[in-house]
Amino acid sequence: MSTEINKDVACPGCGAKVPTRMWSGINAEVNPNLRAQVLDETLFDWKCPHCGYEAKLAYPCLYHDKGGRFMVYFLPKSPDPAKAAGIAGEFPQLRGVRKRITGSLASLKEKILIFEDGLDDRAAELVKLLLAMVLEHAGGGQVREGLYCSVDEAAGRIGFSFRLEGEAEPVRRVTSFAAYRRAAEIVDSLLPPDGGDFLLVDRDFARDLLRRYRGEPAPQPEPPKAEEEAAPEAAPPAPGPEPTPGEPPREEPQAQPAGQEAPAEAPSEEEPPAEEPPEEPEAPERDTTE
């Protein structure tokens, strides 16, 4: 069973409080309709029944495919592995299940497609990085985003699409599946076995992997600039309280103006609601009513 929450969302258009259903946990096997809505990017669509205002409503959501043995924790805007660390520690039965976090809907969808196609996203990310570097070296412009598209093992091909700075249309790039296999070997030789903690596997992850493969030193932090005025001593921000099961969210979710959200894959510009505790992955099925 997936975990449903019902909350009032203040409409940015007319101010009405709109009772809204949200999913803090998705069980892809039990609710294939929710899986489909993630993949066609409609799950977070929101519309005011009073004035017709449309928006993307992004909120934390834990996507779990038990049979596929993977979970992806969508944390809009702030994909911090520390926020998910508790889940992995709390449920030892999840050892061996691949766990990812992501801050974007496009990446949530991409992870699902990669895992469903039986691939390792760490290797796919490395291939994608190399293809992006080739594109940039060829003068194609800065790669803003790259996404996995499809694999055809029989034909020996794996495909990605890239969005370049200043280009409206994405560029499709296909490379040999042997390149993916080689990347998978590098992953296996350099990284611990998958299935431990939640990982943020993105372009920076691939860059770090490539650097280690090439035996390059880790980048040094920028030295502080001498001419800059020293910042006043500030206490580090206190960490917010850990969400506990059953704790109500601390903030009202807000809908994001539809007009302002350009790419559907960008996380909401508005503050996301405070995290809901995700569905307890292996606990007895239940509905959460808040």
Q: Nearest 5°: phi and psi at 121?
A: -65, -25
Rank residues 34 and 255 by Cβ distance to Zn ion and give the closer one: 255
What does the alpha-carbon distance between residue 226 and residue 39 come to, in Å, rounded to a whole number? 49
Rank residues 13 and 156 by Cβ distance to Zn ion and give the closer one: 13
What does the alpha-carbon distance between residue 159 and residue 148 come to, in Å, rounded to a whole number? 6
Q: Which has the closest alpha carbon to 75: 86, 67, 90?
A: 86
Rank residues 53 and 73 by Cβ distance to Zn ion and give the closer one: 53
Rank residues 13 and 196 by Cβ distance to Zn ion and give the closer one: 13
CB 266, min distance to Zn ion, A: 22
What does the alpha-carbon distance between residue 103 and residue 43 come to, in Å, rounded to a whole number? 15
CB 61, min distance to Zn ion, A: 24
Rank residues 15 and 89 by Cβ distance to Zn ion and give the closer one: 15
CB 53, min distance to Zn ion, A: 4
Which positions lie near Zn ion, rule CB under 5 A? Answer: 11, 13-14, 16, 48, 50-51, 53
CB 20, min distance to Zn ion, A: 12
Q: Nearest 5°: phi and psi at 128?
A: -60, -40
CB 270, min distance to Zn ion, A: 15
Q: Tokens 């932090």, residue?
A: 221
CB 16, min distance to Zn ion, A: 5
Whole-number Cα distances in Å, 71 to 74, 88, 170: 10, 11, 28
Residue 100 and residue 201 in contact, taking contact as beta carbons nearer than 8 Å: yes
Residues 6+ apart with CB under 8 A from 257: 12, 53, 55
Rank residues 53 and 63 by Cβ distance to Zn ion and give the closer one: 53
Whole-number Cα distances in Å, 170 to 17, 95, 145, 223, 278: 38, 37, 9, 37, 34
Rank residues 14 and 134 by Cβ distance to Zn ion and give the closer one: 14
Whole-number Cα distances in Å, 239 to 79, 83, 100: 15, 11, 22
115's tokens: 């895992």
What does the alpha-carbon distance between residue 126 and residue 63 come to, in Å, rounded to a whole number? 23
CB 45, min distance to Zn ion, A: 14
Rank residues 16 and 179 by Cβ distance to Zn ion and give the closer one: 16
CB 28, min distance to Zn ion, A: 32
